[in-house]
Chain A
Amino acid sequence: MREAAVEVQDVVVKYGDVVAVGGVSLTVPRGAILALLGNNGAGKTSLLQVCEGFRAPDAGSARVLGLDPVADHDDLMPRLGIMLQSGGVYPWATAGDILRLFASFAAHPLDTDMLLDRLGLRKFAKTTFRRLSGGEQQRLSLAVALVGRPELVFLDEPTAGMDVGARQTTWELVESLRADGVSVLLTTHLLDEAESLADHVVIMDNGVVAATGTPAELTAAAGIDLLQVRADPALPVADLAARLDAEVTEDNPGEYAIAGSLDTEAIAAVLGWFATAGAQVTAVNTRRRTLEDVYLALTAGATR
């Protein structure tokens, strides 16, 4: 069996005394998309830099396509596509010049005109980089990462600064990469991006992994967090709240909200209580937690 696309073991990254990454392990299987989710300063980019070979970890190890990103730099680079957050593009060169330049470094580059078309950049082919908008610069940067037909791409906040249309185009392009068997490790702080694109999500907070799993696993593990019941008004719900580890409110007359981590027993208890109270239940709604709820709960410490 082929080695994983990325295998990171207990990686630590320090800047002086500041620990940016405090012992992170993760695996990106071949052909999968892994989203590294976290607030600014969570350590996403530092971890990515270790995988890209821009710096060696202070502790732990990283293997990328079975190689050491620092020691095997020259063998690894032709197989990678790297999209940086910003910088490093000649401001006076045109989008076409830049893409052709990066294509000239590859053994088998993609057709640059096709790529410009795919990213909606064809009409900017003769526009200098400095005259492109932020979103257009991002798309060009993505094209630069993909032009060499990489086996694995690292995308650092690929849709930052893009409008809704460009973001959709980018997502479709990333999904088509997966269809072609390309592995992707991307960082983002956009939850919908992680939820709709990624096969695996790793939530980082303060340099460590706060949670990991598929988007479905992460939300399912959190279970149902809100039960809405419509019944007779003015029931003594304080009594119900006392029996459950949950918050119960009557938002409008006859509309009750039971919020908390609700398992099957708790839901049975709630409905049983309404029956015992002799109330006529006319509607029941459940809400599952979204990735956003999970994320906010896990990373609350960073913003407190």
Chain B
Amino acid sequence: MTTTDTALPSTARMGVSRGWVETLQFFRDRTALIFSFLFPALLLLLFGTIFADDYDHPGLSAARIFSASMIAYGIVATSFITMGVGIATDREDGTLKRLRGTPVTATAYFLGKLIMVAVLTAAEVVVLLAVGVILFDLSLPTDAGRWFTFGWLFVLSVVACGLLGIAASALVRSARTAGAVLNVPVVALQFISGVFIHPITQLPDWMITVASIFPVKWMAQGFKSVFLPDTAAGFEAGGAWEHGRIALVLLAWCVIGSVLCLVTFRWTNTRDA
């Protein structure tokens, strides 16, 4: 036997095969699909229908703005919450323990989860965009520059939220309560980050300052920059789209999330050990 014969599959290959099964698993579980996947679309439907008025900006309806900002919420819901709940469940039902008894590394495990979450989030964004375009007059950008912005924004958002979801799973005591616990910061951040409230300048300054620490405000601002006319930038707290700052903040959260994962990740519940 040569050494290559006994070489284990690469972390990337293990991660991809895990991502495939994780994704299959998620889409077959109808309850998970309806509650975590279709919920943001339902919210968009409600907000868009209730707040259909135009702002003091010609042609810019509240519904159209929600269609853009709710993409940030959709990404947080699928990347952060699905990730956090998924890992808490894996830890509780023995999935992690079973994997611990195989050559799978922690990195391959996370990679599989991130792949699942990225696929899920991409599908989520497609559903939200479809609702926005069909019902709320959202127009898809035609120039490549905006799609480029969309691309890096999507990747950084999914990675940052996914990593933070992994880190947050360490704080959750049981899978049963994971959804409730993780939704608290998420819902609070949506309100102070200009996802549900527009324009964000209506909020007290200190609230905007707090929101600026976290990724959601920057994600919402970024997606508005992709799907709204540039004149709408005046509604933002900084009066501009601030792409450079968005990228920096999200990158910083990717780094913080990675460090938190390495520090907090446990293969088992402490009570098992």
Contacts and interface: CB of A to CB of B under 8 A. Distances in A.
Chain A interface category by residue count: 20 to 34
A296 interface: no
Interface stretch (A105-113, A249-257, A280-288): A105-113
Contact of A74 (B13, B28, B97, B105): B105
The binding surface of chain A is classed by DSSP as loop
A289 to B, nearest CB: 37
B95 A88 contact: yes
A88 B98 contact: yes
Contact of A101 (B6, B7, B21, B96): B21
Nearest to B93: A87
A144 B101 CA distance: 11
A54 B29 contact: no
A106 B101 CA distance: 12
B21 A89 contact: no
Interface string B67-98: 00000000000000000000000000111111
The binding surface of chain B is classed by DSSP as helix
A148 to B, nearest CB: 7
Contacts of B273: 55
A93 interface: yes
A170 to B, nearest CB: 19
B94 A90 contact: no
Interface in A13-63: 52-55
A90 B9 contact: no
A97 B21 CA distance: 7
Contact of B6 (A55, A98, A107): A107
Nearest to A154: B101
Given A107-B9, A108-B6, A128-B28, A84 B101 contact: yes
B93 A78 contact: no
A168 interface: no
Given A88-B94, A88-B96, A148-B102, A107 B5 contact: yes
A281 B20 CA distance: 76
Most chain B beta carbons < 10 A, residue from A55, A86, A93, A144: A93
Contacts of B104: 105
A32 B128 CA distance: 59
Contacts of B52: none
A235 B44 CA distance: 96
Given A74-B105, A104-B9, A105-B9, A98 B98 contact: no
Contact of A54 (B26, B95, B100, B102): B100
A84 B97 contact: yes
B224 interface: no
A90 B98 CA distance: 11
Contacts of A78: 8, 103
B240 to A, nearest CB: 46
A86 B92 CA distance: 12
Given A92-B25, A104-B13, A108-B5, 6 more contacts: A54-B100, A74-B103, A84-B101, A92-B24, A101-B21, A105-B104
Interface of B: 5-9, 13-14, 17-18, 20-22, 24-26, 28-29, 93-105, 268, 273
6 contacts: A52-B101, A78-B103, A84-B98, A84-B101, A92-B26, A101-B17
- A-B complex: 7 closest residue pairs judged by Cβ atoms: A87-B94, A88-B98, A88-B94, A82-B101, A104-B17, A92-B28, A90-B25
